[in-house]
Structure 1
Amino acid sequence: MEKEKVFAKRKFGMIDIVIFIFITIILYLVMSPGMHAVASNNSNIKISTNLNMLPIYALKSVLRMTVAYIISITFTLVYGYVAAHNKKAEKILIPILDILQSIPVLSFLPAVVMGLIALFPNGTVGIEIASIILIFTGQAWNMTFSFYNSIKLLPTDLQEASSILQLNKWQQFKKLELPSAAIGLVWNSMMSWAGGWFFLMVCEMFTIQGRNFRLEGIGSFLQTAANEGNTKALVWGIITLVIVIILLDQLIWRPVTAWADKFKVELTESEDQPKPFFLKMLRRSYIIQLFTEKILSPIFVFIGESIESVLSKLKKSGGREYKKIGKVFKIILKIIALIIIVYAVFNIIKLLTTLSVSDWGQIPRAALFSFLRVFAAQVIALIWTVPVGVAIGMNKKVANILQPVIQVVASVPATALFPIVLGVFINAFGGLGIASILLMLMGTQWYILFNVVAGAMAIPEDLKAAAKVFGIKGFKKWKILILPGIFPYLITGMITATGGCWNASIVAEYVNFGGHTVKTIGLGALISEATTKGNFALLLMGTITMCIVVVAINKIVWKRLFVMSEERFKIEM
């Protein structure tokens, strides 16, 4: 009942209005450095379409993705943990997360790029950091939602057992919460990498106020090849990307997926355990064993002991000293926040008054068209991802065949493939309006699929065996076992897919190919065009509109369904 009250308070409240105002202020503050920025010598960098450069470009992109992922997983564990355990913070952090995942990458561009150029005026350091941050915005949100939801859906008996054993917060996190979230985190990590590849072309090569910013990488290579209409370079770039994805799948994701399978909550172990070749090689390796025992294990033990020591000291002292410091810190923060808010509100109003009547008039129409495309893409995605995801998650033989395939297909940027078929779709459907639905679908359907797979894999073998013993098959099995089992994961996937779909509209409704720009009516096209032209007032208003629509959908539809999943479909031992 207590949890139900907390969620009920979160459905409709003044907190949402406050958060919208706060995010609007933040958007203005982060965009403001881009309004009066000076030129950067980064525009002189040329991206070669020489095929010999592909290995180097691919390596640079993987390194950027790796750094962004490390930041994302750190953010996920901290943010998700605080939101799940602190009820006061939860009322603020989760709506903020809703908004953050709905803000398009291009809305971050002026702020992040211009701010970092000011800090690092020479060379490409500023652009490198900006690119990593932008990739992070395409990776972090679905992982955070997954981790948060996993903690909220922990079986009550396991929580009671941790209390009986008197586990402190760190021990509970290490032994209960992180293992319980492992399957969802692994599959959402794969989705995050796929999402990173999707926006890589945007993050490594973009235009602000008519100025070009470029970084050497596979994303900028593909974007350059597409802009030049160089089909040969584009095809070879995609082939190189596919090879990289396959290598990552075999060397990292398949072993990690097999490792995460041991964290399923069940009494009966599956007979058909996945045994990836590379994982077996790692387990047999003396060097890996030596590295793990002599280096990794001591580091993790030291970190664990340090955290437990700090928690123990805080518990003994009652945290009195920290509370005093915290009160002073809060007062200072409130004063600073008040000054910033007054300054930002004044400038936001001043900026938005520069919008013309025609600018204001096109926003509702653009939002409606984008909403219809998002809805169509989501319905199409649901039709095929649920049955395929269940088949992969519940059948190890099918998983061994299809997992690498979907990992490759999901990771190939739709923005790289789209120019190849753009002309066909424009001729067939008379414009980008219908074709943009395909691109949005290609970019966001994987959020649903990967979460459904994680949900199906998390169904205990005990329940599968019980269904088999009682002869439960077909539709009845879906109704009694499968749909209730995957429902919480499906809702998580739908929440992140909704934000991802709106995000994908920025590249789906405004496409550059062969030196030509093709666009259609939509909020994504409006934001992309405003970014290119440096119309910051329209960019801010378009972003605010997108945030309002996404959060409204989450509040009215997905959050209510998540409450239902927590109350009715929580697996207890």
Structure 2
Amino acid sequence: MAGGSGGFPSRSVWRRPELRWVDVLVAAALVAGLYGLLRLAPSLDAPFLPDQAPATVSTDLSNLPFYAVRSLLRMFVALFASVLFTFVYASAAARMRRAEKVLLPILDVLQSVPILGFLSITVTAFINLFPGSTLGLECASVFAIFTSMAWNMTFAFYYSLVSQPRELDEAARVMRLTKWQRFWRLDVPSGMIPLVWNGMMSFGGAWFFLAASESISVLNHRYALPGIGSYAATAIGNGDLGQVGIAIGVMVVMVIGVNVLFWRPMTAWSERFRVEESESADRPRSVVLDLLRRSSLPELAARPLRPLGPALDRAMRVFGLAEHPLARPAARERTGDVFFAGAVAVVVVFGAWKAFDYVHTTVGLGEFGHAFALGAVTFARVLVLLVAATAVWVPIGVWIGMNPRVTRFAQPAVQVLASFPANFLFPFATAAFVALGISLDLGAVLLMALGAQWYILFNVVAGASAIPSDLREAMTGFQVRGRLRWRAFVLPAIFPYYVTGGITAAGGAWNASIVAEVVDYGSHHLTATGLGSYIAEATGTGAFPQILVGVSVMSVYVVALNRLLWRRLYRLSETRYAL
């Protein structure tokens, strides 16, 4: 009989799985993570009185590990909230045609609103929502970080949904998948790669605003939450460059650690969802992901959750099948659109009228003219930054991306540079400006560039790396060199990636202007003329009319620049320069 003599199973069937060193390592990491969360939990709900809240944190070096973990927790909570928002908002915009005409413009405006514009409104609301508890301030900090992540991820997932092949849409309806099944079996897998890469870039950009979200100056009050950002802000206020250098060292370790332990495994794992005829020879690898795949603990942990999937599939059938009609009656479509657009227009016009009336009765409508003039100065700085960053980093990015050996070593360094919060370097730059007598009106361009230029370099490297090898060989075979090679081959190939980097860099530069046009270092307080300093000073003093005017004007500048320049270049890159 099978299974051994006497009809009994062999002893190997009953043998317990061997405990391997990989399982021990993964288990130890899980236990360490759970222990850290349990230790942090009491401090998240500590007593809090706004009038007695500390404006600074202790700069004792023994507190740095605790500060680093608190900052990481806020970053990952904001990332989780951004993923949930992305799934809901992008799906609604892609699947609901009438809602799409409103949701996308709203998202474009929200993307242009500066981070401090959200802080000035949300801090008081969250403190009142959780009276007497630090949880309100924690939520305000997480929300500020969320606003620096969510919009880019939502746009990326939305474009992946609307660009799905028609045959996949038809297959989902032929197989009678529910809307729930379609989302998890088609929508999420098809959008996973752009979601992961844009999530990594958004997470890196959020590091820049960590200090502003943990050391909050709003409504004539200053609140400081324990974190590496508030530690750096306190050291900057004290004028202690040594402590600022220590904070920079800790941040470098944190950024590299997150990239190695989280984003590198995520990018390698997301490659399983790539749809291509042949497997790439240069697929990203991750030691952490290899360890998790070799360990049996993830499978054991997921085993009790497996029956949950079919149960949810059955429960979600109440929302109907994944029917997504490709055509609708024109008369019904026009009638519904007119009604919906009219209702939205009424709400928008009423809100704008109330806002203008509020400004008119407080500071007067002439404040808009003053803000637009300041915005023109900041706009000039943004243009100078973009031109300089393009001239410097496009050739370097092409050289890195078109040399595989250089890419293997340089691309991780570029990711770290793009993720590093450049405002931690502001004190050193400010000390140099004071020593050399350089005005912040000129120095602000450099400070803005420290946080925004890397997006251009990162995307150009990605574009040059993605150029098919057969095209490179063809250019080499035809001996196309010099200016002709750049004009006919290199620049058209990287153009779509450059546009993406330019949009991100321009948006980052506008937001960076708020912290770059007003700089404090010890006893030195430097201010540059511009819209960023206007918003920062209004936020610090709690001048709501000026906050409303400044945020509205900056939104107009950003949206107008996107619509008049970047969107047109984006369409050009899709229609003419897409490979």
Bin the TM-score by the shorter chain.
Answer: 0.7 to 0.9
Q: Shift in Å at residue 394 of structure 1?
A: 6.0
Matches within 5 A, 1:297-336: 303=312, 306-307=315-316, 310-312=319-321
- Secondary structure of the equivalent of 1:201? helix
Counterpart of 2:330 in structure 1 is none
Aligned ranges 1:252-331 → 2 under 5 Å: 252-291=262-301, 293-294=302-303, 303=312, 306-307=315-316, 310-312=319-321
Deviations along 1:101-154, one digit per CA (max 9) or x if unpaired, are 111111112210111122222021111101110101111122222223334445
Tell me, yes or no, if structure 1 residue 138 matches structure 2 residue 145.
Answer: no
Number of residues of Structure 1 aligned to a counterpart in Structure 2: 513
TM-score by length of 2: 0.79
What is the CA–CA distance in structure 1 between the aligned matches of 2:216 and 2:185, rounded to whole Å?
Answer: 44
Q: How far does residue 431 in structure 1 lie from its aligned partner after superposition?
A: 0.8
Contact kept? 1:265, 1:458, Cα under 8 Å: no
Q: Secondary structure of 1:44's match?
A: coil
Looking at structure 2, the residues matched to 273 and 313 of structure 1 have their Cα atoms a distance apart, in angstroms, of: 33
Deviation of the 1:350 alpha carbon: 3.1
| 1:360-375 to 2 correspondences below 5 Å | 360=368, 362-375=370-383
Checking the alignment, whether the CA contact within 8 Å between 2:219 and 2:542 is kept in structure 1 is: yes
Alignment partners' CA distance in 2, 1:481 and 1:145: 29
Preserved contact between residue 49 and residue 132 of structure 2 (Cα < 8 Å): no
Amino acid at match of 2:271: D
TM norm structure 1: 0.79
- Deviations 1:199-246 (CA, angstroms, capped at 9, x unpaired): 010001122232111111111000000001122211111111111111
Q: Which amino acid aligns with 1:200?
A: L
CA distance in structure 2 between the aligned counterparts of 1:147 and 1:562, rounded to whole angstroms: 17
Gaps of 5+ in 2: 1-47, 325-335
1:222 aligns with 2:229: no
Spell out, residue by residue over 1:70-112, the C-alpha distance to the aligned partner (whole angstroms, 9 max, x if none). Answer: 1112222332333334443333222222211111111112210
Deviation of 1:387 after TM superposition, in Å, equals: 4.6
In structure 1, what is the equivalent of residue 255 of structure 2?
Answer: 245
Q: SS of the counterpart of 1:274?
A: coil
3-state DSSP of counterpart to 1:207: strand
Conserved? CA contact 2:535–2:551, under 8 Å: yes
Are the equivalent residues in 2 in contact too, given 1:526–1:542 (CA < 8 A)? yes
Distance 1:392 1:152 in 2: 32
Compared with structure 1, are the counterparts of its residues 350 and 279 closer, same or farther at alpha carbon in structure 2 (3 Å cutoff)?
Answer: closer
- Whether contact under 8 Å (1:209, 1:531) holds in the other structure is yes
Question: Which structure has the bigger radius of gyration?
Answer: 2
Match among 351, 355, 364 for residue 359 of structure 2: 351
Residues 1:523 and 2:531 aligned together: yes
Aligned residue in 1 for 2:425: 417
Could you tell me whether the CA contact under 8 Å between 2:459 and 2:501 is conserved in 1?
yes
Which residue does the alignment assign to 2:116?
106
Distance 1:466 1:358, change over 3 A: closer
Tell me by how many angstroms 1:457 deviates. Answer: 5.8
Q: Report deviation, 1:540.
A: 0.9
Higher relative contact order (CA 8 A, sep 6+): 1
Matches within 5 A, 1:456-495: 463-465=468-470, 467-468=472-473, 471=477, 483=491, 486-495=494-503
Q: Do structure 1's residue 207 and structure 2's residue 217 form an aligned pair? A: yes
One-letter code of the match for 2:114? P
Are the structure 2 counterparts of residues 61 and 465 from structure 1 closer, same or farther at C-alpha, using a change threshold of 3 Å? same
User: Is 1:159 paired with 2:166?
Assistant: yes
- The residue aligned with 1:25 is none
Give the number of the structure whose residues are more often helix, by fraction. Answer: 1
RMSD of aligned Cα (Å): 3.5
- Does the CA contact (< 8 Å) of 1:76 and 1:147 recur in 2? yes
Structure 2: how far apart are the matches of 1:387 and 1:123?
52
8 Å contact 1:83–1:93 — kept in the other structure? yes
Q: Which whole-Å CA distance do the structure 2 matches of 1:343 and 1:225 have between them?
A: 42
Give the match for residue 411 of structure 2: 403
Per-residue deviation, 1:410: 2.1
Q: Does the CA contact (< 8 Å) of 2:182 and 2:322 recur in 1?
A: no
Give the AA of the match of 2:418: A
Partner Cα distance (1:457, 1:305) in 2: 44
> CA separation in 2, counterparts of 1:208 and 1:544?
18
1:49 corresponds to: 59
Change (3 A) 1:344 1:562: closer
Give the corresponding residue for 2:243: 233
Identity of aligned residues (%): 41
Secondary structure in 1 aligned to 2:320? Answer: helix
Name the stretch that deviates more: 552-561 or 77-86. 77-86
2: CA distance, partners of 1:69 / 1:300: 24
C-alpha distance 127-340 of structure 1, shift in aligned 2 (>3 A) = farther
5+ residue gaps, structure 1: 1-37, 316-326
1:70 alignment partner in structure 2: 80
Quick one: which amino acid aligns to residue 445 of structure 2? I
Does the residue aligned with 1:312 lie in a helix, a strand or coil? coil
Deviation at 1:427, TM superposition (A): 4.3
TM-superposition CA deviations, 1:146-192 (whole Å, max 9, x none): 223334445xxx33254256354555544554444333322221221
Paired residues of 1:429 and 1:435 also in contact (CA < 8 A):
no
Cα distance in 1, alignment partners of residues 497 and 192 from structure 2: 13
**Letter aligned with residue 413 of structure 1:** P
Pairs within 5 Å for 1:158-177: 158-164=165-171, 166=174, 168=177, 173-177=183-187
- 1:76/1:140 contact within 8 Å kept: yes
1:345 CA displacement: 3.4
